[in-house]
A and B are shown apart, each in its own frame.
Chain A
Amino acid sequence: MELDRIRPIIGFWLALIVSLILILSACGDAQPKTLEQQAVEIDKSLMCPVCPAETIDQSQVPLAADMRAFVREKLAEGWTKQQILDYFSSEERYGPSVLAAPPRSGAHLLVWVVPPIGVAAAALILFFILRSMRSGPSTLPPQPADDPSLTPYLAQVDAALNPAPENPSEETPSNPPRTAPDRG
C-alpha cells in the first residue's frame, strides 16, 4: 500500500520538527517576566465590572484604572496572580463573573472539557464515516427519477425556453454550451 510507504516518512518529518521545536523552546525565554508584564497578564484576566465585555486592560473608565493600580500595588507587595484573582472574584467583591474565563476546576470545569470532548467525538465519528465511505458501493446509486407530476411543468419550462422544438437541450440561448475553458 502507498499509505504504508508514506507513513514512516511523514512520521520522521513530524518527529524531527516537533523535537526541534521542543529542544529550542526548552532553552526558554531568556528574561523572566517583569512585574509590569505580570500585571498586564492579570489585567487581561479580569473583566471591568461596570462596562460590557471589556477587561480592565481594555477599559478606560476610572474603576478599571483603580483596579489596575491595585493589581500593581499588590504584585509589588508580593501577592501571586491567583491571590489577586481570588481577591477580586470573592463573593464580597465582584463574584466569579469578574474573571475573564471561569476557573479550570469545580463546577466550571464543564466549560473547559466540553470542547475537547466534542471535537474528539466528532473526529471519531468522522473516522468511522470515512471508513464506511471507503467500503461503500463502488457503483453509482441510481439517481431518483423526477417526480412524475413534474414532467408537464418541465415541459412548459422547456417550451418557454426553447421555442424551436428541435433543440431539447436544457441550455438556453443566453447560456450557450461552452467550449473548453482554455480556448475561451
Chain B
Amino acid sequence: MGDLGLIAMLISLALAGYAAIGSVLGRLRNNLALVDSARYATYLATLALIISTLSLVSAFLSRDFELRYVFEHSSLAMPRIYTWVAFYAGNEGSLLFITTALSLMATLAVALAPARFRPSLPYTNAVLMLILAFFLSVMTTLANPFAKLDVVPADGRGINPLLVHPGMFFHPPMLMTGLVMVSIPFAFALGTLLSKRVGDEWVDMGRVWGILAWAVLGIGLLLGSWWAYTILGWGGYWAWDPVENAGLMPWLGLTAFIHSIMVQKRFGMFRMWNLALVFISFGLSLFGMFINRGGPVPSVHSFAASTLGWVFLIFLIVGVIAPFALFFWRFNLLKSARPLESSLSREAAFLVNNLLLLGVAFVTLWGVVYPLVSELINGVTVTVGEPFYNNVNGPILLGLIFLMGVGPLLPWRRANFAILKRNLLWPLIAALVVAITLAVLGVRKPYALLAFSLLAAVAAAILIEWFRGTRTRHRRGENPLQAFALLMASNRPRYGGYVVHLAIVVLALGIVGSSFYGSQQDILLSPGQSANVEGYNVRYVDSRTVARADRTESYYTIDITKNGDHVTTLEAQRTFYPDFNMNATRAGIRSTPVQDLYVVPSESREGSDVIGFRVFINPLIWWLWIAGPIMILGTVIALWPAGVPAWLAARVPQTQRQRPEPTPEIPAHD
C-alpha cells in the first residue's frame, strides 16, 4: 500500500505543477482550452491525494509496521478507531492531512466560483496549486509518510497517550484545516491582483471563504481549549502557548478581514486594506505552520515537531514578501470608490476594530518571537508566558468588546444624533444595572466589573435590536416567531453576525468568570478521608485499578457534599503508560452554568494509599463551551445564500412581501 501512496503523491505533484503552469500560460495566451485542462488537473490532483490518503489509512488498519510512520504512531493495542487520530499524530501524516484538506478546498473553491470570476480564476488556481506543490514537494523529499523500515517490526510504538481523547478526533483536523484554508481567500485576493481586475469582483468569494476558514479555525481553537481543560489537568484551557498563539493570530487577522470586507462589499471602500488583511492573515497562518513544524519555541502541543523548520521559514518569507511586493506594484489601482464621510460611522468603527484585532495579533506575535530577539541581542534566554499576554492583551480585548457593542449600533456612513441616542441608551442602562447589581453581590475587582458591564451592554444592544425589528414586523401582521425568523432572513450577514457576537459575549463571560474568580486547592487524602474546599466537603471514597496491555488505568471516586447535601459523585482517572513513562489524567468535572467542580488526581506516592488531588472551582466556564455551537449557528446564518426559504415565504401574506425592508440591504449579487 505504501508504494501506491507514494506514487499517487508524485502524480498529484505533477498534476499540481501542470495546473499552476497551464492556467497561467493559458490565461496569458488566451487559450481557454489550456485553462480548462489546468482546472481539470486540479481536480485530478485532489483525486490522487485522496488515493494517497486512503492508502496510508489502510496501512494503519492492516497494521503495516513496515511503514515507519505507522510503526511510530500506532501499535497492535491501539483501538482501530484511533487510526483517524494516529494519521495526523506525527509530522509526515499531518502534512499529508493538510495537503489533502487544501486540495479538497481548492477544488471546491475553483469549481464553485461563479462565472464572473473566470478572468481571475486561472491565477487563483495557479496560486493554490503552487501552495499545494510546495507541500507535496516537502512530503516527497523530506518528510515522506510512506518511508519504509529495513526490518519489519512485530509491533509499533503506539500513539502518544495525550492524544487518546475524543477531543483529538476533531480539534487537530479543524485547526489544521482552518490554518490551510486561509490560502483560499488569499488565492482569490492574489488572483485578483495578478489579473489586474482589482475592483470588487473577488470580494464575495473572499468573504465566503474567509468566514469559512475563520469558523473552522475558531472551532478548532475552542476544541483545543476543551481538550486542554479535560486532559492536561491544570484546570485551565488557554495558556498562551506558542502553538495556541499560532492558531489564534491568523484567526484574529481573519476576524478583522471578515468585518472590513463588508465595507468593500457595500461601498467599494478599503480595497487596499482588505487585500493587506488577507495577506497578513495568510502570513500569520504560515507563521503558525512554521511554529508547529519544528519552530524555535517550546510548546506543550507540538506533537508534529520536526526538522522542517527551515523549509517552512523559507515558505513563510516568500509567502509574505511576494504578495506585498505585488501589492505595492499594483498600488495605484487600489483606490477606494468612495471617501469616508464621518469618523463616527460603522465603517470607521470597523477600522478601529481592525486596529485592535491586529493589535492583539501583533502583541501575541511579539511575545512569541521575543525570546528569539532576546537570545540574539542579549544572549539571554527568557520566557514570555501568560502574565505578559494577560497584562498586555487583556485591556485591548476589553476595548474590542466595547467596540463589538458600539460598532453595530452606529449606522453606515455617518451617525445621526437621534439614532445614536436611541441605540445607546438601553445598553448603557443595562451596563449600569449589571455593574451595580454585581457590586452589591460582592464583585469588586475593577477589571471584572468593567468586563461584565460591557458584556451586558453588548448583549442588551443585540437583543434590543432583535426585539425592535421583530416588533415592527409583528405589527405588520406576522406572528412573533415568524417575524423574528424573517427579520433574521432579511439581512443574513448582519443578523448572523449578531448571533456570532452573542457567542463572543458568552465566551467572554466564561473567560472573565473563570480567570478572575477561579480558585484551586491541593489536598492529600487516603480513602475515606475528606477535606473542605470553599464550602464543599470533598471525600475520597475509593479507587480501582485496571491493568491493560499498554497502560494501567486508575479510577478514583470522589464524593462531594455541601452542608450535608449530596452534590455529586465524580470519577477522576489517571493512566500510566510505561512505554512512554508518562501519566495522563482525566479530570472528574461537574459542569453547571454557575460553576465547574473539577477534581484531578495530581500525585500518588509509592507505597502509600494517599493520593494528592487538586480541586478547582471554575465559575462560569460552562459558557465557554456553549459559545461554540452558537458561533456555528451564527456563521451558518451569515453564509446562507440570499433569499427567504420557500417554506417561510409561503406563509407571508402577499401584501407584506412587496413592502421594502426598513433597512436597505446587501445588493442581491451574492
State the A residues within 8 Å of B (CB).
Answer: 2-3, 5-6, 9-10, 13, 16-17, 20-22, 24-25, 27-30, 36-37, 40, 44-45, 47, 51-55, 57-60, 65, 68, 95-102, 107-108, 110-112, 114-116, 118-119, 122-123, 126, 129-131, 133-138, 140-141, 143-144, 146-147, 149-150, 152-154, 156-157, 160-161, 170-172, 174-175, 178-184
Contacts and interface: CB of A to CB of B under 8 A. Distances in A.
A116 B396 CA distance: 10
Contacts of A24: 435, 439, 444, 446, 449
Given A111-B366, A122-B359, A184-B649, A52 B302 contact: yes
Given A2-B416, A44-B386, A115 B603 contact: no
A181 B643 contact: yes
B27 to A, nearest CB: 7
Interface in B348-387: 348, 351-352, 355-356, 358-359, 362-363, 366-367, 370-371, 373-374, 378, 380-387
Contacts of B442: 30
A29 B445 contact: yes
A52 B371 CA distance: 14
Q: Shortest 4 CB-CB distances between A and B: which pairs?
A: A25-B446, A52-B298, A100-B385, A58-B234
A25 B442 CA distance: 10
Contact of A143 (B199, B358, B585): B199
A148 to B, nearest CB: 11
B668 A175 contact: no
Contacts of B417: 2, 5-6
Contact of A144 (B333, B351, B358): B333
Contacts, number: 251
Contact of A181 (B414, B424, B642): B642
Interface in B622-655: 642-646, 649
B376 to A, nearest CB: 12
Given A160-B32, A161-B118, A181-B642, A153 B27 contact: yes
Nearest to A23: B439
A171 B643 CA distance: 18
B32 A55 contact: no
15 contacts: A2-B414, A17-B428, A53-B385, A97-B382, A100-B383, A100-B386, A101-B384, A102-B382, A111-B370, A118-B362, A133-B339, A141-B337, A146-B197, A153-B32, A181-B665
Interface string B445-486: 110011001000000000000000000000000000000000
Contacts of B359: 115, 118-119, 122
B435 A45 contact: no
Given A21-B446, A24-B444, A184 B388 contact: no
Interface in B381-423: 381-388, 391-392, 396, 414-417, 420-421
Contacts of A160: 32
B366 A178 contact: no
Contacts of A29: 444-445
Interface string B253-267: 000000000000000
A3 B343 CA distance: 9
A172 B388 CA distance: 54
Contacts of A47: 383, 385
B544 interface: no
Nearest to A43: B520
Nearest to B440: A24
Given A2-B415, A115-B362, A115-B392, A184 B444 contact: no
A24 B445 CA distance: 9
